[in-house]
């Protein structure tokens, strides 16, 4: 029988063994790819330089996106937790995954649940409700997902090929009319297509060779001005072993060679240790996801496409209530992801313990993973505190500087939005890749 110490040794063993590899990758890449140099020239309203003044420069937001799914928005049975969820989500994340699963978005044919006041379905808040919240809090929102033949409505004619193509296209068109043209941070087109063989609810379209490419062509037609993302399950160990012969690499290559406009490549990192049995029994099959060499090499293989990357769904388990080990494992993984040059975003999945997915048959229960960043009462676990520490303190720029005779001051900081303050007066500016000089009027 494993105790906390046994689990900790097992899940952190490879990180500790390969500490030198990790530090070399993380430290150099973060410095090279997440930070930039900038020179500010501060002037007053007349255009005169603000010379010889002490200024305080403070980072207010990150260009890098770190988020979670928004599936619990107003989903708790009590108003206190609903209010708390709205508060903590905006405090800890700047990106939200919004559910567009067809089964719950349109449970009745012709009556999609777009509107904020739509009838409630657990873990499937209406898109308008989610987008209203994101706009209020300044959070970017992403669509998950257009083509996912696993969670589809019962009313669909699943064996009628022509009708399924027609109805899928209708779905793409209706969603695009309401949410396309830049209303969202990005749009996930297809999800977990390499796992089709395990689905029990799939339609006849899963048997066709050309269905994935068809879905991507439909997405490009109806979302021409949006960022299109592909989302696949835990593929990094396979990529690390098989390199350019890994199924995901070959699948991506096939889609792109066929003309699919894939703007961003997504891959999941769920470590669902305990979802199908005791954590002690299930741990060995997930250890490859806890090997930094697999993670780094797998991402390097995907980087060969030259496309932005995203970790689309993350679950880090808690073993026997050991929050410290969960936080440490999360830290080590997020360091690698943040350091990966083409990575643009990382999305944690189930935020609160006890609120995760349970299969209708009960054979899969993600709650047994204890993978939330928060306890069920929404108090932060050490993992949530670690995430906040990384983006709010470690990867954060806060400086006191002094302008020269021409009102100029230079510094190096993390990319994002900033505030420059002189006394009680402040102005905002952005530090972006390539904008080495910024004029700031205070």
pLDDT by residue (tens digit) across 339-369? Answer: 999 999 999 999 999 999 999 989 999 999 9
CB 323, CB 371: distance < 8 Å: no
Q: Calculate what percentage of the chain has a pLDDT beyond 90.
A: 96
Whether the per-residue pLDDT at 435 is higher than 90: the answer is no
Determine the pLDDT at residue 198.
Answer: 86
- Using 50, 70 and 90 to split pLDDT, how confident is the model at 200? confident
Q: Are strands 95-99 and 65-69 parallel, antiparallel or unpaired?
A: parallel
Q: How many CA atoms lie within 13 A of 48 on its CB side?
A: 4
CB 191, CB 148: distance < 8 Å: yes
Residue 103 forms beta bridges with which residues? Answer: none
Determine the pLDDT at residue 367.
Answer: 98
Domains and CATH numbers, the chain: 35-58+398-441 (2.60.40.1120), 65-394 (3.20.20.80)
| Residues 370/372/374/377 CA torsion (nearest 10 deg) | -60
CB 317, CB 371: distance < 8 Å: yes
- pLDDT tens for 117-146 read 999 999 999 999 999 999 999 999 999 999
Helices 323-339 + 19-33 axis angle, to 10 = 50
Q: Across 302-353, where does the E strand assignment appear?
A: 309-315, 343-348
Please give the DSSP secondary-structure letter assigned to residue 393.
I
Give the chain's end-to-end CA distance (angstroms, integer). 64
- Which residue in this structure is represented by tokens 């699963």? 101
Q: Are strands 186-191 and 228-232 parallel, antiparallel or unpaired?
A: parallel
Structure tokens of 158? 């699943």
- Using 50, 70 and 90 to split pLDDT, how confident is the model at 276? very high
Structure tokens of 426? 């402040």
- Using 50, 70 and 90 to split pLDDT, how confident is the model at 50? very high
Residue 269, Cα to own-chain centre: how many angstroms?
Answer: 10
Structure tokens of 154? 């019962």
Q: Across 193-270, where does the E strand assignment appear?
A: 228-232, 264-270
């Amino acid at each position: 029988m494993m105790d906390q110490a046994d689990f900790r040794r097992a899940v952190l063993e490879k990180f500790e063994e390969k500490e030198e590899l990790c530090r070399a990758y993380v430290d150099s890449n973060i410095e090279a790819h997440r930070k930039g140099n900038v020179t500010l020239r501060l002037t007053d309203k007349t255009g005169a330089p603000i010379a010889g003044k002490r200024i305080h420069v403070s980072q207010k937001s990150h260009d890098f996106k770190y988020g979670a799914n928004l599936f619990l928005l107003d989903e708790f049975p009590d108003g206190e937790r609903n209010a708390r969820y709205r508060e903590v989500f905006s405090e800890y994340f700047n990106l939200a995954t919004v559910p567009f699963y067809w089964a719950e978005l349109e449970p009745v044919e012709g009556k999609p649940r777009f509107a904020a006041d739509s009838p409630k379905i657990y873990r499937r808040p209406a898109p308008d409700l989610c987008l209203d919240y994101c706009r209020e809090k300044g959070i970017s929102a992403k669509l998950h997902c257009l083509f996912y033949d696993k969670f589809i409505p019962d009313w669909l004619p699943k064996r009628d090929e022509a009708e399924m193509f027609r109805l899928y296209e209708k779905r793409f068109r209706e969603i695009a009319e309401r949410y396309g043209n830049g209303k969202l941070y990005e749009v996930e087109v297809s999800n977990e297509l390499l796992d089709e063989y395990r689905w029990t609810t799939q339609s006849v379209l899963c048997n066709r060779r050309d269905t994935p490419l068809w879905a991507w062509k439909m997405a490009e037609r109806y979302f021409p001005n949006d960022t299109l993302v592909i989302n696949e399950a835990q593929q990094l160990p396979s990529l690390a072993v098989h390199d350019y012969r890994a199924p995901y690499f070959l699948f991506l290559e096939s889609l792109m060679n066929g003309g699919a406009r894939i703007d961003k490549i997504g891959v999941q990192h769920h470590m669902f240790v305990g979802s199908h049995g005791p954590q002690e029994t299930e741990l060995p099959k997930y250890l490859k996801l806890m090997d930094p060499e697999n993670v780094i090499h797998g991402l390097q293989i995907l980087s060969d496409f030259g496309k932005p990357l995203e970790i689309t769904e993350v679950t880090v388990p808690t073993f026997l209530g050991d929050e410290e080990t969960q936080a440490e494992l999360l830290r080590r993984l997020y360091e690698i992801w943040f350091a990966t040059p083409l990575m643009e975003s990382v999305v944690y999945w189930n935020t609160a313990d006890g609120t995760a997915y349970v299969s209708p048959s009960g054979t899969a229960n993600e709650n047994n993973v204890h993978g939330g960043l928060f306890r069920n009462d929404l108090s932060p676990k050490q993992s949530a505190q670690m995430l906040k520490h990384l983006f709010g303190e470690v990867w954060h720029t806060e400086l006191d500087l002094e302008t020269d005779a021409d009102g100029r001051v230079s510094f190096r900081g993390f990319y994002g939005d900033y505030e420059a303050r002189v006394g009680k007066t402040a102005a905002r500016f952005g530090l972006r890749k390539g904008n080495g000089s910024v004029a700031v009027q205070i």
